Amino acid sequence: MRLFDGVDHLILLTLRGRSFDHLLGALRLEGREDIDGLRGDEVCPLDGVEHRVFALDDGGHRPADGPVSCPTPRPPDARPYAWTQLQGAIPAWSPRADWSHAQPYSGAAIPCSGFARAYALAHPEADPRLPLGYFTRRSAPTFYALADRFTVCNRWFASAPASGLTNRLFAVCGEAGPEAESADPPSRRRTMVELLDRAGVSWGVYGDGGSLSQLLGGARSTAPIAALLGALRGETPLPSLSVVEPDARLPHDLQLEERLVYSLVEALTSGPRWAKSLLVITYDSPGGWFDHVPPPETGEAPPFERLGGRVPALLVSPWTGPGVCDLTLDHRALVQGALARFASAYALSPQPRDERVVAFGELAGSEAPRLDPPRLPAPPPAVDAVVKALAGRAQGLGEPPPWAREAARLARPEARPDSKLPPPPRWPRPEEEVERAIEDRLGRFERAAEAFSSRAERAVRKLDGG
């Protein structure tokens, strides 16, 4: 049977900027032969030096107590850099003014060999091997536990070799234009949720809203992620489609992603809607991190003649079992699948890539659901503490408690050992964030009280004939 045949609730979590090999590639090193991951001998040449892939948590770049989670400076992911990463050469059509410090690439372009080169162009003072770093099970226990228990997509690609914004356009509209890479706002396009509105299908956006709120033009405000957790547990109605948009202002830290994913999966699997739900966890773009699989061509005109790099994708549902999906997918395919399931009267305009990318709605599911879902191991206490300290309030997971401050302190650069790789940026202290939030809330209450008092005085004078 088709996967969507047993699904009444689709939850989409699109995180930001990680490649498949960067997050899940080490599964193959553990012995998973079905995973198209790392073999350990992949290299990217730069100036006569071959930089080899390496485990981030074995590379001397780790926090004082726990796995490395926020390596910086982050690799670049704008279109010229993305093409350099995939081709091993600087694209000829790139504006030369942006590449004035770059030397012409000598030699034939080798697929997926330009990650060190692109990183050196963007961060000439940093260690060019950083984008070849990958996480292991120690760094990402929640993601690896899900990969053990549910379906891993071996060939889910970003929709374009471009930035996260361009790929998020594909993820909610099924298409994008070249202007998405510019500083101007993207042109208005029909979104998946607007088509669901026309079909009378319920939907919700949870979290910060971020780029999706911009794309919707403020058509509907977002709800906190805590509201979605409650709906997953059965406390409130759950829409047919739920889109989760984590706060883009938070540090790009794997620990934050681990806790968010763990919370969503635990709420879903313990709630009454598990039997009819599908949680899709993926990333908008590879974020400049190494991946060894060249993306396929689309048959479309430049700059979208090729898909972007591979991104992690996990299908969590009672209708998906342990294993892999080897079909070629991208973000547009997911939009097509959602419309086919919930609003079959509406469809995206045909594109040449549709002949090369499988429609998500055609994916096969299990013959019978697993109504007793496997439980995930709880995240380490340090992960939980840092998340609550740095992002709990913004993500709707609760106010940061006093005991979390020590964990937050340990996550700061000055608490980390010396490393050849640069430390993460300094994060704001949780107590400062809370104080600013309290002052902002009090200020709004005071202004509202003054306005109410002024209206009341005018009403009294009017009644008195004044």
- Whether 433 shows a pLDDT value over 60: the answer reads no
As a whole number of angstroms, the distance between CA 115 and CA 464 comes to 77
Q: What is the pLDDT of residues 234-293, one digit of tens each?
A: 999 999 999 998 876 666 788 888 888 999 999 999 999 999 999 999 999 999 999 999
Confidence of residue 437 (pLDDT cuts 50, 70, 90): low
DSSP state, residue 317: S
Q: Are 69 and 255 in contact (CB under 8 A)?
A: yes
Alpha carbons 404 and 427: distance in angstroms, whole number = 14
Full set of structural domains in the chain with CATH = 3-77+134-362 (3.40.720.10)
Residue 215 scores a pLDDT above 80? no
Residue of 33, 51, 30, 34 lying closest to 42 (CA atoms): 51
Q: What is the pLDDT confidence band of residue 190, given thresholds at 50, 70 and 90?
A: confident
- Answer yes or no: is pLDDT of 181 > 90: no
Q: Over 90: is that where the pLDDT of 380 sits?
A: no
The partner residues of 310 in beta bridges, in order of sequence, read: 157
Model confidence over 280-325: pLDDT tens digits? 999 999 999 999 999 999 999 887 889 999 999 999 999 999 999 9
Average pLDDT of span 110-136 = 92
The model's confidence at residue 383, banded by pLDDT at 50, 70 and 90, is very low
pLDDT at 426 over 60: no
Contact 23, 33 (CB under 8 A): no
Q: What is the pLDDT of residues 36-54, one digit of tens each?
A: 999 999 999 998 999 999 9
The string of pLDDT tens digits covering residues 162-174 is 888 889 888 888 8
How large a percentage of the chain has pLDDT more than 90?
40
- What is the reported pLDDT for 169? 85
d(CA 166, CA 343): 24
**In 265-333, beta strands by DSSP E:** 277-283, 313-316, 323-325, 329-330
pLDDT band at 63 (very low <50, low <70, confident <90, very high): very low
Residues 437-443, mean pLDDT to the nearest whole number: 61
What does the pLDDT read at residue 428? 39
What letter represents residue 454's amino acid? S
The confidence score (pLDDT) of residue 228 equals 94
- Ramachandran area for residue 217 (φ above 0: left; ψ -120 to 50: alpha; else beta): left
- What pLDDT was estimated at residue 71? 82
Share of the chain above pLDDT 70, in %: 69
Find out whether 390 and 250 touch, Cβ atoms under 8 Å: yes
Residues with Cβ within 8 Å of residue 292, at least 6 apart in sequence? 21, 25, 38, 42, 112
| pLDDT confidence bin for 11, thresholds 50/70/90 | very high
Task: Provide the pLDDT for residue 266.
Answer: 93
The reply to whether the predicted model has a pTM over 0.85 is no
Q: CB under 8 Å to 285, separation ≥6 — which residues?
A: 16, 17, 77, 82, 158, 162, 163, 164, 166, 167, 308, 309, 311
| Mean pLDDT score across all residues of the chain | 78
Higher model confidence: residue 374 or residue 187?
374
Lowest mean per-residue pLDDT among 132-141, 143-152, 408-417, 433-442: 408-417
Give yes or no for residue 457 having a pLDDT over 80.
no
